[in-house]
Amino acid sequence: MLTIHHLGTSQSERILWLCEELGVPYQMKRHERDAVTRLSPPELQAMHPMGTAPVIEDGDVMLAESGAIVDYIIGRHGNGRLALGPAHPDFAQYLYWFHFANATFQPLMGRNMVLSRTNLPAETPVITSTRDRLARALKFMDARLSEVPFLAGSEFTAADIMIVFSLTTMRHFYPLDLAPYAQIKAYLQRMGAREAYRRAMAKGDPGMKPLLE
């Protein structure tokens, strides 16, 4: 059976959610962050050279990186479900938004988080530039969601599973006001209403209220 090593309050929630959506059987091994550093514990660091979650074990396969794991599970266990193939009219949009999550949006959230913890003046050029890039990404996403119900288009896909962590759980690390982005807020309500999402969050982080507003 597939084993998911889940670090509390982390991107590994994506993998639990994906498996719940696909109905893929799995067992979860939950790991707690260090109370002081908030980093992953030694047992998780010992599993993979990068020492981060998620990590999965599937027979002889051990794999890290949430995007790679999502692709692996969809291909190996999901019969291609929740991905769009080349013949689909929204294939390009699916690819773009799937990779936008960790190639663009999550790094922007991370950079803003780090800079917010420095003692640099608020109007330092690097801070204003990074903050403006995040605002631009949010405005872009909000505009996209004013046109379609899901990021890839008319269908719920793994692109949605990839982005929601950064719009919700990541805000426990970097608070972000989504009030200016009505379409994103409505989208998060739709995602939060999905039974598979609710099951995944209840299993993975039962004491944490998802930030869906």
142-162 pLDDT per residue, tens:
999 999 999 999 999 999 999
178 pLDDT above the threshold of 70: yes
CA–CA dist 206, 204 (Å, integer): 6
The residue ranking higher by pLDDT, 120 or 181, is 181
CA–CA dist 71, 40 (Å, integer): 24
Class of domain 91-194: mainly alpha
Q: What is the 3-state secondary structure (H, E, C) of 61-112?
A: EEEECHHHHHHHHHHHCCCCCCCCCCCCCCHHHHHHHHHHHHHHHHHHHHHH
3-state helix, strand, coil in the chain (%, to 5): 50, 10, 40
Kindly report, as residue ranges, where domains of CATH 3.40.30.10 are found in the chain: 2-82+198-204
pLDDT band at residue 126 using 50, 70 and 90 as cut-offs: confident
Counted residue by residue, the chain has a size of 213
Q: How many CB atoms lie within 10 A of CB 126?
A: 11
At 43, the amino acid letter reads: E
pLDDT digits (tens, 9 = 90+) for 68-81: 999 999 999 999 99
Kindly report, as residue ranges, where domains of CATH 1.20.1050.10 are found in the chain: 91-194
24-33, 139-148, 179-188: least confident range? 24-33
In CATH, the number for domain 2-82+198-204 is 3.40.30.10
Query: Element (H or E) spanning 195, and its range?
Result: helix 195-204
What is the value of pTM for the model shown? Answer: 0.93
